């Protein structure tokens, strides 16, 4: 049962577009131990959780990310492909790299042994954020995004997101083993740590049940400014209230998506 404060916060959330809960430093032994996506500490990293109704998700992403005043949003997406497939010759202004790679294992999907990887960079504006998060509908492991400065070399994002290529290529095929899952969890943890060290703010979507939204990771030293910008004009929780709100979400079956 929710506490009185929890019920009050939930009512506040219903009356606003979104609610924010901040962690100045990621709690790897508490909240981090409940999150199913990775193993181990993230280092000196803070996190900002954004909770919203699933029907409001597109609007919330388009509102929450541009206020960070970082010039660009970087994305990576992957799709399974047949053996003979090769990336098209065409390029667009947002593409940093577009290629195919071999999956590490194929069992149930033996006819799809390759995957397409596409790396892109777009202006961090409301219209383009709406555009690039279209891949969130599937909540698959073939998607990653981060906010950063356009001056940041594109190859830095490619290096970060290539970690997720390995994650994606490790086929689960509905026959996931404990060893394989452990490897994937360590890879996901490495991706977040490496991205933050490279100067990006990796953004991971939440599952849509019970709430949609995102978690943005940043260096702990940047957290106060990031939290202030993202929480302007909405209910924002820190300390024990934030921890309770995050634990309530996880306790209802919520989690970080796609990893």
Residue 54 maps to a domain: yes
Residue 257 maps to a domain: no
Residue 256 maps to a domain: no
Q: pLDDT tens, 4-35?
A: 344 454 445 445 779 999 999 998 888 988 88
Residue 158 maps to a domain: yes
Structural domain total, the chain:
1
Q: Sorting pLDDT into bands at 50, 70 and 90, what band is 3? A: very low
Residue 258 maps to a domain: no
- Least confident stretch, 121-135, 164-178, 197-211: 164-178
Q: Sorting pLDDT into bands at 50, 70 and 90, what band is 1? A: very low
Per-residue pLDDT, 133: 81
* For the chain, percent of residues with pLDDT exceeding 90: 53
Per-residue pLDDT, 4: 37
As a whole number of Å, the CA-based R_g of the chain is: 18
The mean per-residue pLDDT over the stretch 162-184 comes to 85
Q: Sorting pLDDT into bands at 50, 70 and 90, what band is 209? A: confident
Q: pLDDT tens, 58-109?
A: 999 999 999 998 999 999 999 899 988 877 776 678 889 988 888 888 888 8
Per-residue pLDDT, 90: 67
Kindly report the CA angle at 88 between 87 and 89, in degrees rounded to 5?
120
The mean per-residue pLDDT over the stretch 149-174 comes to 86
Residue 39 maps to a domain: yes
Q: Sorting pLDDT into bands at 50, 70 and 90, what band is 258? A: low
Kindly report the CA angle at 68 between 62 and 73, in degrees rounded to 5?
60
Residue 174 maps to a domain: yes
The better pLDDT of the pair 45, 259 is held by: 45
Residue 32 maps to a domain: yes
- Which range scores top for mean pLDDT: 41-45, 112-116, 217-221? 217-221
Average pLDDT score, the chain = 87
Classify the C-alpha dihedral 45-190-122-78 as positive or negative. Answer: negative
Q: Is the predicted pLDDT of residue 224 greater than 90, yes or no? A: yes
Q: Is the predicted pLDDT of residue 192 greater than 60, yes or no? A: yes
| Six-digit token string for 32 | 């981090």
The mean per-residue pLDDT over the stretch 43-55 comes to 95
The residue segments making up the domain with residue 54 are: 4-251
Distance of CA 193 to the CA centre of its chain: 13
The Cα–Cα gap between 100 and 68 comes to 33
The Cα–Cα gap between 231 and 228 comes to 5
The Cα–Cα gap between 140 and 12 comes to 30
Per-residue pLDDT, 2: 40
């Amino acid at each position: 049962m929710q506490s009185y404060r929890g019920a009050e916060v939930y009512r506040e959330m219903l009356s606003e577009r979104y609610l924010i809960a901040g962690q100045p430093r990621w709690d790897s032994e508490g909240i981090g131990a409940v999150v199913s996506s990775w193993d181990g500490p993230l280092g000196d990293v803070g996190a900002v959780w954004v909770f919203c109704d699933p029907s409001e998700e597109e609007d919330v992403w388009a509102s929450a990310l541009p206020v960070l005043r970082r010039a660009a949003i970087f994305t990576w997406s992957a799709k399974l492909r047949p053996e003979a497939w090769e990336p098209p010759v065409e390029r667009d202004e947002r593409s940093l790299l577009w290629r195919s790679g071999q999956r590490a294992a194929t069992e149930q999907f033996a006819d799809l042994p390759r995957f397409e990887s596409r790396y892109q960079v777009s202006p961090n504006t409301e219209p383009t954020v709406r555009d690039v998060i279209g891949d969130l509908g599937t909540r698959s492991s073939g998607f990653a995004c981060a906010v950063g400065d356009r001056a940041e070399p594109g190859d830095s994002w490619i290096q970060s997101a290539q970690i997720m290529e390995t994650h994606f290529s490790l086929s689960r095929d509905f026959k996931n083993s404990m060893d394989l899952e452990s490897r994937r969890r360590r890879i996901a943890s490495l991706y977040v740590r490496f991205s933050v060290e490279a100067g990006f703010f990796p953004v991971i979507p939440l599952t849509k049940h019970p709430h949609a939204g995102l978690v943005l990771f940043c260096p702990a030293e940047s957290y106060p400014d990031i939290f202030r910008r993202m929480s302007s004009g909405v209910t924002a929780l820190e300390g024990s209230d934030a921890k309770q709100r995050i634990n309530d979400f996880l306790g209802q079956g919520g989690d970080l998506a796609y990893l």
